[in-house]
Amino acid sequence: MLLQLDGVTKHFGGIAAVRNVGFEADEGKVLALIGPNGAGKTTLFNLITGALEPDQGVIALKGQTIKGLKPFQLAAGGVTRTFQNLQIFNSMTVLENVMAGAYLRGKKGFLRSLFSYHGWCKEEKMIREKSLVLLEETGLAETAGRPASTLPFGQKRLVEIARALASDPCLLLLDEPAAGLNSEESAVLTNYINKLRDRGTTMILIEHDMETVMNAADKIIVLNFGEVIAQGTPAEIQAHPEVIKAYLGEDEKIA
């Protein structure tokens, strides 16, 4: 398995946002994290990316604890995320946005590049080519030279995902990627997630849109008030009484 959480707990003041959470994310699979607003989903992403430290418990990546590692170190090690409230560079072009993701894992640091201009140019060219391929794949190639601010919302989401992919992540964390997308855009996104999985990218997906979750996830973890209340395949989760209760009250069914 790629990622393992065991007994992870995080408090904010007196509130346990995440309580004794344990699960595993298998390599090359899509794991979905679902649960009502405030259930602790984004907090878990903040813990997995090193933006927050757990009060208790262990988070291990490829069998090694991530304790003490900062977000930039985990990003350089291949843990990349997108944000619930879209974070793209509006004044940069679409292509520049995607290229920015690749520099996270570029081999030449800035200082070294000063002494090796040739090496830097070569790397820059590779990054540009790779970013253009990602724009092709996400259907954004024609927008490459436009300021990112001019794109419609659904395409901005795709820019953020392409930027995350430009760093060649071993673990990609997507925080509500379908939020604000229409059903056509969500279907494009679901296809793309499935394509990435087929190529071996491990993903954790936080998503409220059940159609996207059911069509993309191999396994689902359900959180409520910071705790895991159920985990299983999409079919198991759809029929799980605790989940139905947490989402809809009794005697209902998830669409």
Ligand X SMILES: Nc1ncnc2c1ncn2[C@@H]1O[C@H](COP(=O)(O)OP(=O)(O)OP(=O)(O)O)[C@@H](O)[C@H]1O
Q: Is 202 a binder of ligand X (CB under 6 A)?
A: no
Q: Is 199 left (phi over 0), alpha (psi -120 to 50) or beta?
A: alpha
The two tokens of residue 28 are: 């090359």
State the nearest-atom distance from the C-beta of 207 to ligand X, in Å.
Answer: 10
Number of H helices, E strands in the chain: 10, 10
Task: Count how many residues are written for the chain.
Answer: 255
- Which helix (H) or strand (E) segment is 142 a member of? none
Q: Is 41 a binder of ligand X (CB under 6 A)?
A: yes
Q: Is 43 a binder of ligand X (CB under 6 A)?
A: yes
Q: Is 135 a binder of ligand X (CB under 6 A)?
A: no
Binding mask 2-41 for Mg ion (x = CB under 5 A): ---------------------------------------x
Among 21, 40, 192, 203, binds ligand X (CB under 6 A): 40
Q: Is 19 a binder of ligand X (CB under 6 A)?
A: no
Q: Is 85 a binder of ligand X (CB under 6 A)?
A: no
Residues 213-252 that bind ligand X (CB under 6 A): none
Q: How many CA atoms lie within 13 A of 178 on its CB side?
A: 25
Stretch that binds ligand X, among 31-39, 105-113, 137-145, 184-192 (CB under 6 A): 31-39
- Report what 72 binds from ligand X, Mg ion, none; CB cut-off 5-8 Å by kind: none
Rg from Cα positions in the chain: 19
Residues 59-88 that bind Mg ion (CB under 5 A): 84
Contact 229, 246 (CB under 8 A): yes
Q: Is 39 a binder of ligand X (CB under 6 A)?
A: yes
In angstroms, the CA 47 to CA 173 distance is 12
In angstroms, the CA 11 to CA 226 distance is 10
Among 5, 17, 33, 42, binds Mg ion (CB under 5 A): 42
Name the β-bridge partners of 4. 24, 60
Binding site for Mg ion (CB under 5 A): 41-42, 84
Binding site for ligand X (CB under 6 A): 12, 15, 17, 35, 37-43, 84
